[in-house]
Structure 1
Amino acid sequence: MPSTPSIQDRYPDVLSSIFTNLDFRKFTVQFTPRITFICGGPIASNSSPYPASLRERILLYLDEHHNEIEQNVVVAESFADYFQKGQYSNLLIFEEDIANVASLIVICLESAGSLVEFGLFCNHASTSDKLLVYIPEEHYDGVDSFIALGPLAQLKASSSNSVVAYPFPDSNSPSYEDIDPVVGDLVEKLESSPKTAQFDVTNSGHLAFLIHDVISLCTPIKKQEILSCLNEMGIDSLNERRLSTLLYLLIKIGLVGQKTYSHVDYFFSTVPSLTKVTFGKCKDMSNFDRASKIVEIKQTFMLQQDGERQSTKKRRLVQIKINEILKGQS
């Protein structure tokens, strides 16, 4: 008996037809929910009786009183393996990517590391309005220090609410009476940050959010297929190496997940309903219908057929496993 002819994998063709019809010059980036990156002193272990730093007290207060903000907070410790895993070989590129995806960058000047972070971020012209720097009042009021007269003065001149002075907490005390206004400054600055922006193909944060939406539409998708989608839109500035760094960033800030099946890595959105980029009018002047496009893509591999290719079957099985992962997270 003759074998059943192999059915062509329609997934790549459907992706091509969708993304060639998109014009990135009409895209709008959606920053909500806003991402906050917080640098500063140490975060104590559970064995410590009291919070070890201002940063830790801010994180604890956000968790108790502003959970919607805390859920989108990123700390430097999340990226402790960025060098070991070879994702970033250049610290400056890493810092720039963080700055571009964050709506607010909070720096508590309470450690040597935080001084380095401040030095890196304050040199980015595009991030000065995103910075919120907490400085101990005893090192600011009336003190002609280099940091007060130099970088902080420059930052304050460009954005008056970017530098705030407070008495810092005592790590040996359970109480800190200033925590409410301290966090109030953070909330106020975060809420005043832009909600949207015109898509800029040269901005790595905008590219990262676009990659997220490509993944969200096309879950589960392989790395090379993401590149193909970007190329179909006319975005050819990313190579596979650079894509890997932005995928690493998206995974670390919790927007993207990765599932390895066989020898292949598949990527998926951790919040399937989340949209970070609005596509606007398509090239054929139609409105982009996200829901219908997702259905169209899913139909290329979710409907089991005799003679289907292994690539189709694997994608369907990976989707089932991803559904189980997402169900477990809800």
Structure 2
Amino acid sequence: MNKNKFEDVLIDIFSDLNVNNFQVEYSIKKFFLCGGEINIANEKTPSFRDRFMRHTAQSYDSIYNAIVLAESFKDYFKENVYTDLLVFERDIANIATLVIIILESPGALVELGMFCNKTDLYKKLIIVANQKHTEHEDSFIYLGPLEYIRRKDPTSVAEYPWNDSVQKNDYDSLEDLCSVINDKIEKYPSSERLKVDNSGHISFLISEIITLCYPILIGEIELIFLALEIEISISQIQRSLYLLNKIGVISSRKYGTSYKFYYPLIKDKKTVRFGGTKSGRKVDSLTLRMAINQSFINETDQLSGRRVNVLKLINSSLLVTV
């Protein structure tokens, strides 16, 4: 079966790239936030997480805009994208810049239990505990996971006093928490060599592929991984696409019968730099993007026509949202 011109160009481009030169760029900051109830309509602010959201919305745009609420992923089990909760938690942690867990709900305690043994993730973990619970040294949480994590990384545990209703000292606590977050971000690496066994790195690579090649189908993303000689299952690609969509990095548009095209929402942020090709040439993303566009814009086959139509729709929708 003959491949279309679009696929031929993808194979030519990506088979010439050297995966050993790939560098993951942490240019997009996302903070996974778990904790108590959020209810903007309730002036009594039912939880410390709610107060944190309100505080950052007013005073810390960079933090507020990076927050992804745990509730955003409540449909992770649908369509069998994820059938294993532990795999889901691992992938979330790998793609997030920070994982912030405010211990004030049963769900947050479950998250704590899942992350406390993942020592490789402590660099991006912040556990926020209520001093009312930790000041009693016979507390299971105090004697158990929190102390273990604190010994491994003191910057991963923060304690503050708070009550069920808003208090005057909440402002100082929230200000300090924002400082803890910013300090943690400052120590976060700006880039790292691509590791193919890191699901977060694979997601960032898929994000860069979509930015370079959109509108693109999932089967074409799989073809690119074959050209790169990276072994990856279609289910792993589906999981990455789900997460990238949920954190607002990509989106998709259906067109025709069973066609679902993916495209970027943040085109000005590189998530992977390709470095040099196998022959030593420097990779110019703009030149590659132009070559990919030319592979379908003037073609007359049905799939190319659909791709052109979807590209027009995507560009018009992106202009509206800017």
Which TM-score tier does this pair reach, normalised by the shorter chain?
over 0.9
Q: Specify the SS of the correspondent of 2:80.
A: coil
1:269-284 matched pairs, under 5 angstroms = 269-284=264-279
1:176-325 matched pairs, under 5 angstroms = 176-177=170-171, 178-236=173-231, 238-262=232-256, 263-303=258-298, 308-325=300-317
Q: Give the whole-Å Cα distance in 1 for the aligned partners of 2:196 and 2:81.
A: 21
| Higher helix proportion (structure 1 or 2) | 2
Structure 2: runs of 5+ lacking an equivalent? none
Moved over 4 A (4+): 172-175
- The root-mean-square deviation of aligned C-alpha atoms, in Å, is 1.6
Deviations 1:130-164 (A, max 9, x none): 11111111222352222111211111111011111
Which residue among 15, 21, 24 is the counterpart of 1:20? Answer: 15
Give the conservation status (yes or no) of the 8 Å contact 1:169–1:176.
no
Which residue among 141, 146, 153 is the counterpart of 2:147? Answer: 153
Give the conservation status (yes or no) of the 8 Å contact 2:27–2:270.
no
Q: Give the whole-Å Cα distance in 1 for the aligned partners of 2:45 and 2:39.
A: 6
TM-score (norm 2): 0.94
The alpha-carbon deviation at position 174 of structure 1 amounts to 8.2
Q: Give the whole-Å Cα distance in 1 for the aligned partners of 2:168 and 2:297.
A: 55
TM-score (norm 1): 0.92
Q: Which AA in structure 1 matches 2:29?
A: R
Number of matched pairs: 318
1:61 is matched with: 55
- Indicate the percent of aligned positions where both proteins have the same amino acid: 33
Q: Give the whole-Å Cα distance in 2 for the aligned partners of 1:103 and 1:183.
A: 15
Q: Specify the SS of the correspondent of 1:301.
A: helix
The alpha-carbon deviation at position 129 of structure 1 amounts to 1.8
Deviations 1:195-224 (A, max 9, x none): 111110000000000001111110000000
- Kindly tell me: are residues 151 and 19 of structure 1, through their superposed partners in 2, closer, same or farther at Cα, counting changes over 3 Å? same
Q: Give the whole-Å Cα distance in 1 for the aligned partners of 2:267 and 2:297.
A: 17
Q: Give the whole-Å Cα distance in 2 for the aligned partners of 1:45 and 1:85.
A: 31
Deviations 1:287-312 (A, max 9, x none): 11001100111111223x5xx10111
Q: Give the whole-Å Cα distance in 1 for the aligned partners of 2:205 and 2:275.
A: 13
Structure 1: runs of 5+ lacking an equivalent? 1-7
Give the conservation status (yes or no) of the 8 Å contact 1:137–1:165.
yes
Q: Give the whole-Å Cα distance in 2 for the aligned partners of 1:159 and 1:101.
A: 20
Q: Which AA in structure 2 matches 1:301?
A: F
Give the conservation status (yes or no) of the 8 Å contact 1:50–1:173.
no
1:133 is matched with: 127
Give the conservation status (yes or no) of the 8 Å contact 2:23–2:273.
yes
